[in-house]
Copies of this chain bind each other. A is one copy, B any other.
Amino acid sequence: MNNALCQMFGIEIPVFGFSHCRNVVSEITRAGGLGCLGTAYYTPELLEMELKWIDDQIGDKPYGVNLLLPQKYDVVGDTSLDPDALPKAHVQWQRSLLDSAGIPPLPAEERDALMKEELDRLHMTPEFSNELLDVVLTHSNIKLVVSALGSPPPEILQRLHANGIKVGAMTGKVEHALKHKQAGLDLVIAQGTEAAGHTGVVTSMVLWPEVVDAVFPMPVLAAGGIGRGRQMAAAFTLGAQGIWCGSVWHGTRESDLSDEMKQLLFKARSGDAVQTRSKTGKPGRMLRSKFTDAWVQADAPQPLPMPWQSVLNVEARLRIDRARALDYMTCPVGQIVGSINQESSVRQVIYDMLEEFADTVEGLREKAGLDA
């Protein structure tokens, strides 16, 4: 394959893969696509270590990073995320939930240290984002930076472009895609509601062609609902020039999800990837669990606004993980979870996808009865 996006990045296949896991990112790039590392919750030191590791795996091939580059830092950042400031009723409701399930509280002697460590990861300030950016700019194989929170501020965009880095942003709405175009970005990633994590309401089938037409001739990556070759082919018929996949890597051996979580994902059906506000306060698609279910029961409080729902969840998540309470475990995942049924590898996922993609394109005219 060698379309415009392949040429833009010097890659062999227009397959862009997102993961928080360096092994997944480097394998996608090594297989001819472009891996993008999610950097939320990284410190500059850890990010440097991970990027260095990736550099060592990939030779001269390109890769990318996702950065949280909000226009308004107050949307997600707060330097004083004090759990003592949480509404008491919320804290009490969530503790009762876990107590009733027999999930033990954190050991008193460890609690404060554990909470502090997790809370530190939620911090985000403009200075902090700039520190991460400084790290990114010292790695010359990074050819793409994707903003997950709107168009990046103009000064950051300029700095990235000056370093030969293309800039993209996620969007779940035509209106936001148009803003990205006006801001001078190089590509947009149109993400349907079936994707993992924070998503809008419009599905990929409807969203992709809307965004493609709205930002033409800007290239569009299709995201949300792509886990196999037929869906890859659908992305191109709907006008995208490349694909962006996240959940499909969850089932690979390169993924650092726990074995327990992988087993939960293998068993899940497509309808088990539910939109919930229980994790961050904003609607995000996650694996359904007793935890996400509890948050939509009649007695549940309204989830808190960002970033407070995440602060509220720190203790619950630590308790659930420590207790290995499988029924309560969850992670961000899209509806393609239904087709992830056994452990594979990044390379196998890509190989299978390309094979089905080629078969689909080859058989399309016959399927539709065009030559009959």
Contact = CB atoms under 8 A, between A and B. Distances in A.
Interface of A: 1-4, 6, 14, 173-174, 192-194, 200-207, 209-210, 224-226, 228, 230-231, 233-234, 236-239, 241, 269-271, 274, 335-336, 338-339, 357-358, 360-361, 364-370, 372
A203 B335 contact: yes
Contacts of A205: 192, 194, 203-205, 224-226, 231, 234
Given A2-B369, A202-B270, A237-B230, A339 B225 contact: no
A220 to B, nearest CB: 11
Contacts of A224: 203, 205
A241 B369 CA distance: 9
A276 B360 CA distance: 36
B338 A206 contact: yes
Given A2-B369, A237-B237, A364-B236, A231 B209 contact: yes
5 contacts: A173-B271, A192-B205, A233-B237, A234-B238, A236-B367
Nearest to A335: B206
In the A-B complex, list the 5 residue pairs whose CB atoms are closest, starting with the nearest.
A3-B369, A205-B225, A2-B372, A233-B237, A234-B234
B364 A364 contact: yes
A358 B270 CA distance: 31
A251 B335 CA distance: 31
Contacts of A194: 202-203, 205-206
A178 to B, nearest CB: 12
B210 A369 contact: no
Given A1-B372, A201-B274, A204-B205, 6 more contacts: A201-B271, A209-B230, A210-B270, A233-B364, A237-B361, A239-B367
Q: Report copies per complex.
A: 2
Contacts of A209: 228, 230-231, 339
Nearest to A229: B237
Given A202-B270, A230-B209, A372 B3 contact: yes
A370 B1 contact: yes
A198 to B, nearest CB: 15
Nearest to A274: B201
Contacts of A231: 205-206, 209, 238
A222 B297 CA distance: 33
Most buried by B among A204, A230, A237, A274: A237
A316 to B, nearest CB: 25
Contacts of A233: 237-238, 364, 368
Contacts of A370: 1, 358, 361
A336 B201 CA distance: 13
